[in-house]
Amino acid sequence: MSSTITSMSTKLASDLRDLLGDEIVADDPNSIAAHSGDKWFATHPPDLVVFARSTEDVSKLLHFASREKVPVTARGGGFGYVGGCVPALFA
């Protein structure tokens, strides 16, 4: 990962921690790896993971993401076979 992307991810994590709290924003390697795909073959690591606790958390996150133009990939249990929860942009 380039230093510019790393810096942007660090700022994003910091901004979301300020908004939502430290305990629900994760950017550690284990959380990133665990949320990089589902049972399909495609994987792509997210910049970070938010473990929303309420609809209010989701609302705050989505308002922030919309304002800052940050893509969000929703994830349920991660047991699908179609890659819907893989956080990747396809051109």
Average pLDDT score over residue span 42-54 = 92
Rounded to whole angstroms, the Cα distance separating 35 from 44 reads 9
The residue extents of the domains of the chain are 3-68
Specify the DSSP class assigned to residue 23. G
Q: Is the pLDDT of residue 5 over 60?
A: no
Which of these, 47, 48, 64, lies nearest to 56 by C-alpha position?
64
Rounded to whole angstroms, the Cα distance separating 16 from 61 reads 8
Q: What is the pLDDT of residue 34?
A: 92
User: Model's pTM, two decimal places?
Assistant: 0.82
Q: SS3 of 37, please?
A: strand
Question: Phi/psi of residue 88, each to 5°?
Answer: -135, 145
More confident residue, 1 or 57: 57
Q: What is the pLDDT of residue 31?
A: 95
- pLDDT tens for 13-31 read 999 999 999 999 999 999 9
> What does each C-alpha distance from 13 to 25, 65, 82 come to in angstroms?
7, 12, 28
- pLDDT tens for 56-81 read 999 999 999 999 999 999 888 777 77
